[in-house]
Structure 1
Amino acid sequence: MIRIKKDKDDQYSFVVTAKSGNSLLHSVPFASRKDLDDTVKQLRPLVSKTTVFERQTSHNGKFHFTLKNQNGAVIGMSKPYSSEAGMENGITNLRNRITSLDSSEIV
């Protein structure tokens, strides 16, 4: 599911969740709903590309990934994972979730 939120500063963001309800990706803020909607429409073809995922390790040894658009701008970030294998599983789960979404799962 993709949950869309509007914050107190009138910016929009989305969260991609697994069927279990766990968060897979938190987006960056978008200035308008149109920008967010355009980005959400790009997700399915985007996640099939390996170059859009940037894997990172934080200073405390946790692993996370960012998802970038075709221009290299960050769209969102994953939660921290305790292992590299967990992060890779997170990427796989995100890909599977986005490719299996239908329009009723975008709220």
Structure 2
Amino acid sequence: MAHGHYDLKKAKNGQFHFNLKAGNGEIILSSEMYASKASAENGIASVQANSPNEQAYEIKPSKDGQHYFVLKAKNHQVIGVSEMYHATSDAKKGVLSVIKNGPSTDIRDLTN
């Protein structure tokens, strides 16, 4: 069975970000942009630590009627955002996928 992993990337503007991918390769959580690679790595560590906690998630409606969720650290800072889902039930499935895959220690450094 395939497990989730993190892709750590460098953007064209020189900042860093990461995506958490499920075992099937689908992006299930994306980070904000970070000024340094070390900060992005700290963000991954925060997702690893906070993702198992179901209370750390908040499902929200988007302006166009879709739904997404955010994962928050203990200090209430958003550390990851999901894709858009058509239904709240689909967003809840996405949360369960992040709970399952978030603790992964498989970090793929794609910054070179």
TM-score above 0.5: yes
Give distance in 2, aligned partners of 1:53 and 1:73. 11
SS at match of 1:29: coil
Give distance in 2, aligned partners of 1:97 and 1:50. 13
Does 1:75 pair with 2:79?
A: yes
Higher RCO (CA < 8 A, seq sep 6+): 2
Deviation for aligned residue 1:43: 1.9
Listed as ranges, the matches of 1:5-84 within 5 Å are 5-84=9-88
Amino acid at match of 2:70: T
Deviation for aligned residue 1:95: 0.9
Measured against aligned partners, the alpha-carbon deviations of 1:23-57 in whole angstroms (never above 9, x if no partner) come to 10111001111111112122222112233212101
When the two structures are aligned, how many residues end up with a matched partner?
104
Query: Where in structure 1 are there 5+ consecutive unaligned residues?
Result: none
SS at match of 2:102: helix
Measured against aligned partners, the alpha-carbon deviations of 1:46-105 in whole angstroms (never above 9, x if no partner) come to 112233212101122111001122222221210001111100000000110123x23xx2
Runs of 4+ residues deviating >3 angstroms: none
SS at match of 2:94: helix
Give distance in 2, aligned partners of 1:98 and 1:48. 7
Structure with the largest fraction of helix:
1
The two structures, once aligned, show a CA RMSD in angstroms of: 1.3
Q: TM-score, normalised by structure 1?
A: 0.88
Q: What residue is the counterpart of 1:88 in the other structure? A: 92
Q: TM-score, normalised by structure 2?
A: 0.85
Percent of paired sites with the same residue: 24
Give distance in 2, aligned partners of 1:63 and 1:88. 10
